[in-house]
Amino acid sequence: MSDPPVTVVTGANSGIGRATAIHLAQHGHRVFGTVRGTSRIDTFHKQKAAARVEVELVELDVAEDASVRRGFEQILSAAGRVDVLVNNAGVGANAVAEEATPELYLDVMNINLCGAIRCIKHVLPGMRERRSGAIVNITSVAGRVAALAQSPYVASKYAFEGVSEGLAQELAPFGIRVVIIEPGVTKSAIFAKSIDVPNSTGAYDAPYRRMFQFYGAGIAQATDPVEVARVIHHAITTESPQLRYATSWGGQAMIDGRRAMTDEEWVELGAIKDDTEYYARFAEHFHVDIAPS
Which DSSP state fits 99? G
| Closest listed residue to residue 33, CA positions, set 87, 110, 80 | 87
Q: Are 283 and 253 in contact (CB under 8 A)?
A: no
Question: 203-250, pLDDT tens digit by residue?
Answer: 999 999 999 999 999 999 999 999 999 999 999 999 999 999 999 999
Question: 249-265, pLDDT tens digit by residue?
Answer: 999 999 999 999 999 99
Pairing of strands 134-138, 84-87: parallel
Question: 130-156, pLDDT tens digit by residue?
Answer: 999 999 999 999 999 999 999 999 999
Domain range list for the chain: 6-205+223-251
| Closest listed residue to residue 166, CA positions, set 238, 243, 65 | 243
d(CA 133, CA 4): 13
Residue 279, C-beta contacts closer than 8 angstroms, at least 6 positions apart: 210, 213, 289, 290, 291, 292
Residue 76, C-beta contacts closer than 8 angstroms, at least 6 positions apart: 82, 122, 126
At 238 the pLDDT is 98
Question: 90-125, pLDDT tens digit by residue?
Answer: 999 999 999 999 999 999 999 999 999 999 999 999
Neighbours of 252 (CB within 10 A): 16
pLDDT at 195 over 80: no
Whole-model pTM: value is 0.95
CA 135 to chain CA centroid, nearest Å: 13
As beta bridge partners, residue 95 has 150
Among the options 153, 215, 278, 279, which is catalytic? 153
- As a whole number, mean pLDDT of residues 171-175 equals 98
As beta bridge partners, residue 48 has none
CATH annotation of 6-205+223-251:
3.40.50.720
153 catalytic residue (yes or no): yes
pLDDT at 192 over 70: no
